[in-house]
Copies of this chain bind each other. A is one copy, B any other.
Amino acid sequence: MVTLRDVAKAAGTSVSAVSTVLNGRAEAGRIGAELQKRIEVTARDLGYRCNQLARSIATGLTRTIALVSDAGEHCEYFYELNAGILDSASAHQYALKIYLTAHQSLASILEHLVGERTGGVLFHIVNPGCATTLMKALDREQIPYGVVNTAPFSRRGFRVDSDDSPGVEAAVRHLHKLGHRRITYFDYNQEVASIYARREGYRTAMEQLGLIPDIISALEMNGPYPELQRRFSAPAGTRPTAVVGYSDMLALKAFGHAYELDLKVPADLSLVGFAGLSLADFSPVPLSTVKQPFQDMGRRGTELLLERIDHPERMAEFHTDLLPVMLSPGKSSAAAPNP
């Protein structure tokens, strides 16, 4: 390991001169051009690399942020969120650490977070319990944080999420424009912000269009869904001609039931999902879906976090950022069948 001292010795100068030059603080006219050059050259020749740990303990700052997530299995958007966070973090020379509550106790996560003097924390958390415990501890340790793609769990920090309600509205209008009048909404029973937001979007749009809302809230996340089967089994004149799903996953579950009953998508039934990830593309009929900007959300969250790291006082005010979603028509939505 080449240290500052090694470089200083090789360049025939002092450790502080080397540090100053290598950190680009030489511009203040403190170090002569010739010595500066000499230091840079020897540092490169020796393959010097700053020991960030030592720097961190000297400065009291670490260029590391963390993502804490309680995402369960098969979490689709994990990669996308990650990618966005990393994109922005690495642009600012920050590294990212990951903690999953499913694989580590809260206590041990906390231990790591403060033990390694993590600069700030991004939460992607569904379970309020997890979040509030950790947030309280972080407040005590003065570590900034915020949440991404979840409900706000505190009146401090910030929240970045997608603006879901208009997305579902757009989906309903899209179907309406295609001639659909019996549009069923399909979600499940969970007390999560996004469930309410999207359902609300559906209600609003249906009302404005003068249509009768029809909401199926499955009791469980995993099927089968008898209510849906019942709707699909009705005669063609009364059966829904379109289903908007809370998620791509649910839209595909609807696809499954339609398939069983030999309803053809999109000829007999149009389908619109929500999320816009791989599921939508790999459906037998590419799914029309409302795309959430997961990468952007990760990026935005990171930016807000870095801002809080630089200005801890801003933790006091709570800031919400809702990023727009976009309807992305696939092949699963088409003109309504003739009545």
Q: CB within 8 Å of B: which residues of A?
A: 47, 49-54, 56-57, 62, 64, 71, 73-76, 78-80, 82-83, 86-87, 90, 93, 95-100, 102-104, 108, 111-112, 114-117, 140, 248-249, 252-253, 255-256, 258-259, 277-279, 281-286
Contacts and interface: CB of A to CB of B under 8 A. Distances in A.
A95 B76 CA distance: 23
B73 A80 contact: yes
Contacts of A95: 97, 99, 112, 116
A74 B51 CA distance: 35
A114 B95 CA distance: 12
Contacts of A252: 282-284
B100 A52 contact: no
Nearest to A88: B103
A117 B116 CA distance: 13
Nearest to A262: B264
A108 B116 CA distance: 21
Given A50-B115, A53-B117, A56-B53, A278 B98 contact: no
A278 B73 CA distance: 9
Nearest to A109: B90
Contacts of A53: 53, 56-57, 62, 116-117
A134 to B, nearest CB: 14
**Of A47, A80, A97, A284, most B-chain CB atoms within 10 Å:** A284
- Give the number of copies in the complex: 2
B100 A86 contact: yes
A79 B52 CA distance: 28
B103 A87 contact: yes
A112 B65 CA distance: 13
Given A79-B71, A115-B50, A278-B279, A98 B100 contact: no
Given A57-B54, A95-B112, A96-B98, A104 B117 contact: no
**Main secondary structure on chain A at its contact with chain B?**
helix
A74 B116 contact: no
B278 A76 contact: yes
A191 B108 CA distance: 42
Contacts of A82: 78, 98, 100
A166 B90 CA distance: 41
Nearest to A60: B1
A103 to B, nearest CB: 4
A201 B294 CA distance: 38
Contacts of A96: 97-98
Contacts of A258: 284
A75 B100 CA distance: 18
Q: Counting chain B CB atoms within 10 Å of each CB, which of A74, A93, A108, A114 scores highest?
A: A74
A57 B62 contact: no
A115 to B, nearest CB: 4
18 contacts: A49-B115, A51-B115, A52-B112, A53-B116, A54-B57, A57-B57, A73-B79, A76-B79, A82-B98, A83-B103, A86-B104, A87-B103, A90-B99, A90-B103, A97-B97, A256-B283, A256-B286, A279-B282
A93 B116 CA distance: 12
B87 A79 contact: no
